[in-house]
Amino acid sequence: MVGPSRPIHAVTFAELAAFAGRNPVLSLAFVGLTVAIIANEIAGLLSGIKRIGPSQLTALVNRDNALVIDLRAAADFAKGHIAGSKNVQMSQFDPENKALAPAKALPVVLVCNVGQTAGVAAKRLRKAGFTNVAVLEGGIRAWLAADLPVVKGR
């Protein structure tokens, strides 16, 4: 049996200030994390690199013939990757490669495990003159979480 219901207690500014005074380390940590999250979001917005979800990636591939570059290790790629994606390890990733010149006109979507490595590679592509660059938000994990198919092998 559930106990008696209690009304929700709204925290007043005075109570919040008292808590902050009693817990300065927690308060500073909260403020620091909040500032870091906001700065990270602003940096992402100003970078000019789009972050797209799995359904947007599917649409880009089907509609605009997007080039999907998977930056994961070859063994991870072989275990399962997005159909049609090309595997290029970060150690071999060279946006200045002449073979990539024709791809400058295509949308390019970078994929890694969770989206961090792809963000670094996307900045390098933008610097090399690629204008339509995106990162799969959440990486291959987001793709799998959306229950989308992968292809095994190379």
Q: What is the pLDDT of residues 93-145, one digit of tens each?
A: 887 777 677 778 889 999 998 878 888 889 888 888 888 899 999 999 999 99
Tell me if 121 is assigned to some domain. Answer: yes
Q: What does the block give as tokens for 80? A: 């399962």
Burial of 50 (0-12, 13-18, 19+ CB in 10 A): middle
Are residue 132 and residue 85 in the same domain, yes or no? yes
pTM of the model: 0.69
Q: Provide the domain limits for residue 26.
A: 13-45
CATH number at residue 84: 3.40.250.10
Are residue 81 and residue 20 in the same domain, yes or no? no
Tell me if 75 is assigned to some domain. Answer: yes
**Which residues lie closer than 8 Å to 69 by C-beta, 6 or more apart?**
85, 86, 87, 88, 108, 109, 110, 111, 121
Is 39 a catalytic site residue? no
Compute CA distances 120 → 58, 90, 147, whole Å.
22, 10, 26
For the chain, the domain total comes to 2
Catalytic residue among 69, 112, 125, 135, which? Answer: 112
More confident: 42 or 26: 26
Q: What is the pLDDT of residue 97?
A: 75
